[in-house]
Amino acid sequence: MKLKKISLLILLITFSTIAQSDFHIVGKNNESVTIPFKLVNNLIVITAEVNGKELSFLLDTGIEKTILFNLKFSDSLTINSVKKIQLRGLGEGEPINALVSKNNLFRLKNVINPNHTMYIIIDNLFDLSAKMGIDINGIIGGDLFKNFIVKVNYSSKKITFYDPKKFKYKKCDKCTTLPLDFYGQKPFINVFVENYLGEEFEVKLLIDSGGGDALWLFKNTHPKIMIGENNYRDFLGRGLNGDIHGIRSKISKLKIGDYIFENAPVSYPDSTSILTTQLNKERNGTLGAEILKRFNVYYDYPGRKITLKKNGFFNNSFLYNKSGIEIVYGGEMLVKEKRSRFSENNSMEGNSITEIIYSYGLAYKPSYQISFIRDGSPAQISGLLVGDFILEINGKPAYNKKMEEIIQNLSQKENKKIKLLVDRDGKHLKYSFFLKSMF
């Protein structure tokens, strides 16, 4: 399989350092700014400018600073006041090399920081684009939230930044408002969970809009955090410093203010994957986007509170991958496409004759690759291997699907038959299996 490769170029220019400033709203209407976002696998993706260059960012309340990565030749930009550092985050690997850059102009429509500090990862070890199936150039979190009241409307896929000095809350009988605690610029919320023994207890969770799962709980941070009998070991995701593995199960009950979720999915990451989280000794886990997307949310960092109102996603079933395989974007591949055009001619009798003319051409299309297979899963038993490129799913070309569509295909009801055509070292092979629930 031939993949299209693009080289990387970053231009580094050093300027005199000036004081870091905060984000603020500019323009005549400086009370609020609303921008659209894409919702991809439960996660919020926004478009912003860095030093005049348009890039895509994951909006992540679980981080404090802005991080850039996955910059290609076409993303070449100027970054200022640079020095080398090392970054540590979630994952089982070692710290990674990065650059810290000050005095950058960051613009999100009329929300601007003229002297923004960013961290740039200069290798390809951390690549959200492969996981999400679209280009992601960075992550932004606490830096952007700390000076605003931020409304995230998952229903309309819009986010609004309000000047807290000019904002007035409207009466909302169906809303729940809860206090926020902060560790640095990371927001934490206290909620109640019930374990499989029926014991209800309070936990402190990081609110992480950049985490796709519903709930993570950290073993050994509370005596009542217990893993139920119905569980399985799985790949949970990739952090800044490597892969994250752990146990998946279900929690009997999750209570967030007046809202209750029963049998919500929960993950228990391995302790080696979450070493950096232990800096906050009170933290018991993470509340992720699979839960957050079920609300329209007001994040009020200045007022240290969060307001939730359930939306149309609230009663949706919790979906999880029943195939046992993880899919990543595998680059672009050349695909032979059938094309058609119409040609109109006049016959000798004066009638108009329309002719359909077919031709074939080559086009670059996205490819999807198997990056992980769970032991004992339906996919593994069928004979699929890590590294296989998926060409077709149930007889339809995979390159015509978005990443989230493929994940939905693999998250359907139990006993749904999945047929895959894969490319393995240039050979086209067929496999099939039935989705299997683990609970």
Euclidean distance between CA atoms 287 and 217, whole angstroms: 9
Euclidean distance between CA atoms 55 and 238, whole angstroms: 22
Tokens describing residue 28: 């005549």
Please report the pLDDT score of residue 122 as a whole number. 72
Domains of the chain: 11-156 (2.40.70.10), 176-310 (2.40.70.10), 325-434 (2.30.42.10)
Instruction: List per-residue pLDDT tens for the chain, 439 residues long.
Output: 444 333 333 333 333 333 347 899 998 778 999 999 999 888 999 999 999 889 999 999 988 889 888 665 444 566 665 667 666 655 455 666 778 888 899 999 999 999 999 888 876 656 666 677 778 888 998 889 999 999 999 999 999 999 999 999 988 888 999 999 999 889 999 999 999 999 999 999 999 999 889 999 998 899 999 998 889 999 888 776 667 889 999 999 999 999 999 999 999 998 766 665 556 678 999 999 999 999 999 999 999 999 999 999 999 988 888 999 998 887 776 666 655 565 566 655 656 665 665 556 666 677 899 989 999 999 999 999 999 999 999 999 998 888 888 888 999 888 999 999 999 999 999 999 999 988 7
Q: Helix, strand or coil for residue 377? A: coil
Please report the pLDDT score of residue 14 as a whole number. 33
Euclidean distance between CA atoms 239 and 126, whole angstroms: 8
Count of beta carbons in the 10 Å neighbourhood of residue 333: 19
Please report the pLDDT score of residue 13 as a whole number. 32
Residue 209: closest CA among 56, 90, 42, 91: 42
Predicted TM-score (pTM) above 0.85: no
Please state whether 81 falls in left (phi above 0), alpha (psi between -120 and 50) or beta: left
Please report the pLDDT score of residue 79 as a whole number. 67
Euclidean distance between CA atoms 164 and 24, whole angstroms: 11
Paired residues of 244 in beta bridges: 237
Euclidean distance between CA atoms 21 and 19, whole angstroms: 6
Please report the pLDDT score of residue 162 as a whole number. 96
337, 363 contact by CB (below 8 A): yes
Please report the pLDDT score of residue 12 as a whole number. 34
Q: Which residues contact 206 (CB under 8 A, 6 or more apart)?
A: 62, 186, 187, 188, 277, 283, 285, 286, 287
Euclidean distance between CA atoms 188 and 181, whole angstroms: 5
Give CA torsion, residues 251, 244, 317, 151, to 10 deg.
Answer: 100
